[in-house]
Structure 1
Amino acid sequence: MEQQPKINLIYIGSIGHSGSTLLESMLGAHSKMTTTGEIHMWPHEILQGGVKPCICGESILECPVWSEMRRRVDPLSQPEPQMHLFREQWDAGHTVRLDRLSDFSKGALSADIAEEVEVYGQNNYEVFGAFLDIMREKYSPELNWVIDASKDPYRLLWLARSQRFNITVLHVVKKPPSFAYSMVKRLPKEYANLVHRRLYETARQSLKWSIENYLITKTAQNHLDSGDYKLVNYEDLASDPMGTFKKICATIGCEFEAEAVTNFRQGSQHTIAGNPMRYEGKGIVLDEKWKTKLPSYLRVTSEVLTAMNRSVYGY
């Protein structure tokens, strides 16, 4: 069997609401890159009849790019495990998967898991390959990198272990209290002012912050070359987008393009899901509302529950 050429894949690892959509948009505005958005949600979009529109404004089911994608590669017709393996629902996936934690080690996988990783990698290879082909045909034959903003650490691990991609991981992290505030303010109105619900949500999200960031880091340490991983702090990205993006381009191995930063709103042409900021028109602003709006008891809770590893990420 002829060996397949590896696809250049930029994987944005994050727990969400940490600046990943901003970074993805900058990358997508680069002349050599194209972004899928949170591609592992595509099968759920099909199953549920379209939940969020493509950034072009059309339903994922009606968008000409995603319609053509499905004609070329239907993710629901691929063999198991399919590409949404680690996304049980459109809006949710598990933070802790006890049966998969051993996969993060450097050791060899069992024969049955190795076979699943092989199939999973090939399924995703076909999807990314089709997307690159379509975007090259539609926009530019110079596109050389495809971006996956799915963020999930388990997905990243299996993609890396499949050996089908030249992966660069951009790990986007936000200060824990700032992340906690981003999540607590999303509580439904009936719970927004209940102290116990706010405390519970802060604790839950803080533990998620520690666990998922740890798993992304562990994947990079055990399954990537050191030059293929870069930590990106939201605070740096938002306060110095040009300088930070220049360093990111150096990690990827591409030429820095200042226009990708200034025109980042044009960086998402046909993306799935992501933060609602995709649809806004404002510029890049460092959001630090948490400093005045997050109660001190929630800030302390967040800091205590992330103390185990937040220093690793500069906090």
Structure 2
Amino acid sequence: MLLATHPEVASLGELHLLPHLLDDPDARCQCGAALRACPLWGPIVAAHPDRAPIDTLSWFRESKDAGRVVRWHWIPGLITGRATRRTRARARSYRVITLEAARRAGARCGASVVVDASKDPYRLHLLRAGGVEVLVVHLVRDPRGFVASTVGGSAASREQAGTRPRAWRVARVAARWSVQQMLFERASARAEPPLLVRYEDLATDPEGQLERLARLVGIDPAGFDPSAFRATPGHALGGNPMRHRSEPIALDERWRSELDRRHARLVWWICAPMARRYGYQRRGSQPRPR
């Protein structure tokens, strides 16, 4: 959403959700239209009545809200960066809908840069295996914040309702964070290094981080308007429901009070090796500068 405030940038949102959204009669594009009636997505869906290219996007997403982190069949190629003949064949069909959506979005919005906010290392691996040129932004958040957001609810409300998360679930979500970061790093290892952006830096200094992003893609940073990021029209898919709110950008670190201290220590013990790589600390109000 922030990137799409620039007149030269169009956002696809989470493109890998398209097959699942098409199966949801209540799903809407960011513009408010049903997907088949949307001026961007309608022609794409109509061009593929058998949905074969579109449904390839669901390879790495079992449902709209869930996908497996560890996919053993894909991990060897992702780690080595070597695509097998079978992978390259699948990548050719996988790239069809991605490039078609990117071209249509760029043409419709008059944009030179198209953003896909899909968060999946396997998707990145397959796009690169298919010869799609991708510049990557690696957005990370303190693992304790990620775990608190995933587990959900305040500590007080969970205690009152008797739904305090068990340590095993906290540990599982923490391990998921670490594995995702490791896989993403491997998927990015044999190409132009990704631009690491920490959520905490983006929330406290959006102008500074957007300037870094502008240098990455070669556009004028003055075109960004962080104050209008919730009101910018577009055709992005998916996204957090909070995008419909009106509040300005602000750092959310409620995890510091909402995450049980024992669970916070457990998360840090599991995630520390990766978290330290990104400048996070066990104690302290802000991550170390990079």
Partner of 1:58: 33
Given that residues 103 and 109 in structure 1 are in contact (C-alpha distance below 8 angstroms), is that contact kept between their aligned partners in structure 2?
A: yes
How is 1:90-129 mapped onto 2 (pairs within 5 angstroms)?
90-106=64-80, 108-129=82-103
Partner of 2:286: none
Q: By how many angstroms is 1:264 displaced? A: 1.4
Residue-by-residue CA offset, 1:187-212 (whole Å, 9 max, x unaligned): 997996334x3423321211111011
For structure 1, list consecutive stretches of 5 or more residues without a partner in the other structure. Answer: 1-24
Given that residues 153 and 216 in structure 1 are in contact (C-alpha distance below 8 angstroms), is that contact kept between their aligned partners in structure 2?
A: yes
Tell me the secondary structure at the aligned position of residue 147 of structure 1.
strand
Partner of 2:185: 217
Once residues 62 and 191 of structure 1 are traced to their aligned partners in structure 2, the CA distance between those partners, rounded to angstroms, is 45
Q: By how many angstroms is 1:26 displaced? A: 1.1
Letter in 2 for 1:235: E
Q: Number of paired residues?
A: 278
Partner of 2:169: 201
Given that residues 55 and 278 in structure 1 are in contact (C-alpha distance below 8 angstroms), is that contact kept between their aligned partners in structure 2?
A: no
Please tell me whether residue 275 in structure 1 is matched to residue 240 in structure 2.
Answer: yes
Once residues 249 and 190 of structure 1 are traced to their aligned partners in structure 2, the CA distance between those partners, rounded to angstroms, is 45
Q: TM-score, normalised by structure 1?
A: 0.81
Q: By how many angstroms is 1:105 displaced? A: 3.2
How is 1:157-196 mapped onto 2 (pairs within 5 angstroms)?
157-165=125-133, 167-185=134-152, 193-195=162-164
Letter in 1 for 2:178: S
Given that residues 69 and 131 in structure 1 are in contact (C-alpha distance below 8 angstroms), is that contact kept between their aligned partners in structure 2?
A: no
Q: By how many angstroms is 1:258 displaced? A: 5.5
Given that residues 11 and 116 in structure 2 are in contact (C-alpha distance below 8 angstroms), is that contact kept between their aligned partners in structure 1?
A: yes
Q: TM-score, normalised by structure 2?
A: 0.87
Select the residue among 8, 22, 25 that pairs with 1:46.
Answer: 22
How is 1:251-262 mapped onto 2 (pairs within 5 angstroms)?
251-257=216-222, 259-262=224-227
Residue-by-residue CA offset, 1:66-125 (whole Å, 9 max, x unaligned): 22332245581338x712211121211110001110111345322222211222123422
Letter in 2 for 1:205: V
Residue-by-residue CA offset, 1:217-269 (whole Å, 9 max, x unaligned): 111112x123xx10000110001111111112112221102542222123451
Once residues 149 and 35 of structure 1 are traced to their aligned partners in structure 2, the CA distance between those partners, rounded to angstroms, is 8
Letter in 1 for 2:45: R
Letter in 1 for 2:106: L
Same amino acid, percent of matched pairs: 28
Given that residues 53 and 94 in structure 2 are in contact (C-alpha distance below 8 angstroms), is that contact kept between their aligned partners in structure 1?
A: no
Q: Relative to structure 2, which stretch is displaced further, 182-191 or 292-301?
A: 182-191
Partner of 1:16: none
Q: Per the alignment, do residues 122 and 230 of structure 1 end up closer, same or farther by CA in structure 2, a change over 3 Å counting? A: same
Tell me the secondary structure at the aligned position of residue 171 of structure 1.
strand
Partner of 1:247: 212
Select the residue among 249, 259, 262 that pairs with 1:284.
Answer: 249
Q: By how many angstroms is 1:158 displaced? A: 0.8
Once residues 189 and 271 of structure 2 are traced to their aligned partners in structure 1, the CA distance between those partners, rounded to angstroms, is 20
Given that residues 148 and 259 in structure 2 are in contact (C-alpha distance below 8 angstroms), is that contact kept between their aligned partners in structure 1?
A: yes
Given that residues 184 and 198 in structure 1 are in contact (C-alpha distance below 8 angstroms), is that contact kept between their aligned partners in structure 2?
A: no
Once residues 50 and 207 of structure 2 are traced to their aligned partners in structure 1, the CA distance between those partners, rounded to angstroms, is 37
Tell me the secondary structure at the aligned position of residue 36 of structure 1.
strand
Partner of 1:34: 10
Q: Per the alignment, do residues 274 and 108 of structure 1 end up closer, same or farther by CA in structure 2, a change over 3 Å counting? A: same
Letter in 1 for 2:182: Y
Given that residues 86 and 154 in structure 1 are in contact (C-alpha distance below 8 angstroms), is that contact kept between their aligned partners in structure 2?
A: yes
Once residues 127 and 109 of structure 1 are traced to their aligned partners in structure 2, the CA distance between those partners, rounded to angstroms, is 24
Residue-by-residue CA offset, 1:103-148 (whole Å, 9 max, x unaligned): 1134532222221122212342223223333x24xxxx3x111110
Given that residues 3 and 224 in structure 2 are in contact (C-alpha distance below 8 angstroms), is that contact kept between their aligned partners in structure 1?
A: no
